[in-house]
Amino acid sequence: MRNPKPFRAPGILLTLLLAFSCQQEKKAPIAFAPTDLAAEALIPKPLEVSSSGGAFGLDQYSAIFSQGEAPAFEAVATFLSEKIGEKTGLHLQVNPTEDAAGDRNIFIMEDKDPSWAGQEAYRLKISPDSVLLSAATPEGAFRGIQTLRQLIPDVSVDTLAPQPLWPLAAGMIQDQPQFAYRGSMLDVARHFFSVEDVKKYIDLLAYYKINVLHLHLTDDQGWRIEIKSWPKLTEIGGSTEVGGESGGFYTQEDYKELVDYASQRYMTIVPEVDMPGHTNAASASYPFLNGNGKTPTLYEGTRVGFSTFDTRKDTVYAFVDDVVREISGLSPGPYFHIGGDESHVTKKDDYRYFVNRVEKIVRKYGKRMIGWDEVATADLDSSSIAQFWASEENAQKAIEKGMQVILSPAKKAYLDMQYDTLSRHGLHWAAYIPVDTAYVWTPENYAQGVPKELILGVEAPLWSETISNIGELEYLAFPRVIGYSELSWTPEDKRDWEDYKVRLGKQAPFLDRMNVKYYPSELIDWEKSKYTYETIQKD
Ligand code: ACM
């Protein structure tokens, strides 16, 4: 039962490809206008693009063939077919029998050549009679189909053949990311966001090849994930949010649904339980956790730095062990984020003692610990990761321990910073971050003394004190998060603001079609879109 489908075996696939190519040669080529693959508005910009001038005409007769031992290659093909359907209305068959396939097809092929640079690398060869996408892994193929989706025009050409055609510029793309970790964080603690909202965010991020969604699941104002051994965390701690709204939480089933949804898009969810500070919601649920001996009440404001766990009580570590165990059991990804930021009322020695002990718990459950940069003041293992947000000194301490660093400098990468003084949402304690400022910086050498080899990647956090629904989330995240995808994927010598801003303007039809209420920055010449419905309000 290994290969029930006739077109999985490589030899047969190549034969099929040749057969289709020969058929195509008998027909007169379609007279597309000249194309230039290298000028297409791809984000993130691929590593190498060469144009060959012609075009592949995608139409209702095209089919998608997948080849590869892993059934996951067929799942990638099916995902592509669905996305092409949403954009064009075409219903492309996946791995049909030979007679059901047309002349011009898309082939997604596993290529085990050991020279691939990493598991996300892919190669795309577009010619008038076929599209060949090859990768060593389904993950690489998945990144490649995002490029393909971006290349399909929004509007068909209806005059060259009896049926509508979507011309794809011909040529070759060779691509791979510069950083393995390309993320965004969503704070679901200050305001809760539903499973549907998070799925929409995942879909949008995946289109730009972002591969990590870090969920900030707990804070002073709310505890958002069910812990079966400590049910009051969500019963009590999940009942509020900033501004006195009713909060909410993910059941473990909800959380698994998000993890699965993300993993189908080759995205890792990083769960964060912020401790020992930012813990008022936990201590309001179980007062023994509290470090100042009092029973706290629920908190709906936006102050930080006033709460702490009691770091010298063994029962606190039994609690943390249960939380890390349950969440790690739901999380196939390699990371567990312990927060560790702004523990202003925890004594320094207590803080270091706590982080050291919690790191061991995280490692016991098979995860790599991530913490905000303050954790580097503790005595950590080199496998742990510091997320640089504020202190270069802490980033330096992490480097000295041989730890990797994730770059999220608040002045450049915080999605909750306002664009300018007129922004409807957001804060500005770190900076105003207009769309150009968000893009024009160099993660590769931003933090002094942090060498590129120790940079795991870039993450753009979105804190939610000032946003409470998906439209407000989108206003702050888009378009800036698209730029962070390029900063983390594309090497510095290929990045250029003037070139990027033109490609960014061409994302408007996609964002409109996805009903994304992005901030229409005046720095960008946004492409007019056929999808601008009255329901889309971008003001
Ligand atoms: C942070 O912004 N407190 C990590």
Please give the average per-residue pLDDT across 131-157, as a whole number.
97
Helix (H, G, I), strand (E, B) or coil at 35: coil
What CATH architecture is 11-175?
Answer: 2-Layer Sandwich (3.30)
Contacts of 500 (CB under 8 A, 6+ apart): 43, 45, 439, 483, 486
H or E segment and range at residue 453: none
Nearest atom of ligand 1 to the alpha carbon of 304: 3
The alpha carbon of 389 and the centre of ligand 1 are apart by a number of angstroms equal to 7
pLDDT for res 415: 98
pLDDT for res 12: 52
- Which are the catalytic amino acids? 342
Mutation probe of ligand 1 site: the residue of 220, 307, 338, 341 with most atoms within 8 A of C-beta: 341
| pLDDT tens track for 178-218 | 999 999 999 999 999 999 999 999 999 999 999 999 999 99
The alpha carbon of 410 and the centre of ligand 1 are apart by a number of angstroms equal to 8
pLDDT for res 97: 85
**90-97 CB contacts, 8 Å cutoff, 24+ apart:** 90/58, 90/59, 90/60, 90/62, 90/166, 91/60, 92/62, 92/63, 92/64, 93/63, 93/64, 94/63, 94/64, 94/65, 94/66, 95/5, 95/7, 95/8, 95/63, 95/64, 95/65, 95/66, 96/63, 97/6
- 412-440 in b/e burial notation, b at 16+ Cβ within 10 A? bbbbbbbbeeebebbbeebbebbbebbbe
| pLDDT tens track for 348-361 | 999 999 999 999 99
**How buried is residue 1: exposed, middle or buried, by Cβ count under 10 Å (0-12/13-18/19+)?**
exposed
Please give the average per-residue pLDDT across 244-268, as a whole number.
97
pLDDT for res 539: 43
The alpha carbon of 172 and the centre of ligand 1 are apart by a number of angstroms equal to 42
Residues lining ligand 1, Cβ inside 6 A:
341-342, 372, 389
pLDDT for res 20: 56
pLDDT for res 17: 58
How does residue 537 score in pLDDT terms, banded at 50, 70 and 90? Answer: very low
Nearest atom of ligand 1 to the alpha carbon of 278: 3
Q: Is the pLDDT of residue 1 over 60?
A: no
Please give the average per-residue pLDDT across 387-401, as a whole number.
97
Please give the average per-residue pLDDT across 419-427, as a whole number.
97
68 alpha-carbon distance from chain centroid: 25
Nearest atom of ligand 1 to the alpha carbon of 342: 3
How does residue 21 score in pLDDT terms, banded at 50, 70 and 90? Answer: low
- The two tokens of residue 414 are 């915080």
Q: Which CATH number applies to 181-314+390-494? A: 3.20.20.80
Least confident of 16-30, 312-326, 482-496: 16-30
| pLDDT tens track for 316-326 | 999 999 999 99
Nearest atom of ligand 1 to the alpha carbon of 461: 2
Cβ 339 vs Cβ 372: under 8 Å: yes
Mutation probe of ligand 1 site: the residue of 272, 389, 394, 414 with most atoms within 8 A of C-beta: 389
CATH 3.20.20.80 placement within the chain: 181-314+390-494
The alpha carbon of 194 and the centre of ligand 1 are apart by a number of angstroms equal to 22
Nearest atom of ligand 1 to the alpha carbon of 387: 4
Q: Whose CA is nearest to atom 2 of ligand 1?
A: 389
CA separation for the pair 120, 144 (Å, rounded): 9
CA separation for the pair 54, 127 (Å, rounded): 7
The alpha carbon of 374 and the centre of ligand 1 are apart by a number of angstroms equal to 10
Q: Is the pLDDT of residue 423 over 50?
A: yes
The alpha carbon of 390 and the centre of ligand 1 are apart by a number of angstroms equal to 8
Q: Is the pLDDT of residue 27 over 90?
A: no
- The two tokens of residue 13 are 């696939």
**Which comes out higher in pLDDT, residue 382 or 71?**
382
H or E segment and range at residue 3: none
Strands 218-219 and 222-223: antiparallel
The alpha carbon of 414 and the centre of ligand 1 are apart by a number of angstroms equal to 9
**How buried is residue 115: exposed, middle or buried, by Cβ count under 10 Å (0-12/13-18/19+)?**
exposed
Task: From residue 206, give the alpha-carbon distance in Å to each of 69, 211, 457.
Answer: 24, 7, 16
Nearest to 76 by CA among 32, 27, 37, 109: 109
Residue type, 253: E
The alpha carbon of 188 and the centre of ligand 1 are apart by a number of angstroms equal to 14
pLDDT for res 25: 46
Nearest atom of ligand 1 to the alpha carbon of 339: 4
Q: Whose CA is nearest to atom 3 of ligand 1?
A: 341
Q: Is the pLDDT of residue 11 over 60?
A: no
**Tokens 């408007």 identify what position?**
508
- The two tokens of residue 396 are 């330096």
The alpha carbon of 471 and the centre of ligand 1 are apart by a number of angstroms equal to 23
Please give the average per-residue pLDDT across 418-425, as a whole number.
97
Percentage of the chain with pLDDT > 90? 88
Q: Whose CA is nearest to atom 1 of ligand 1?
A: 341
CA separation for the pair 258, 272 (Å, rounded): 15
Entry pTM: 0.95
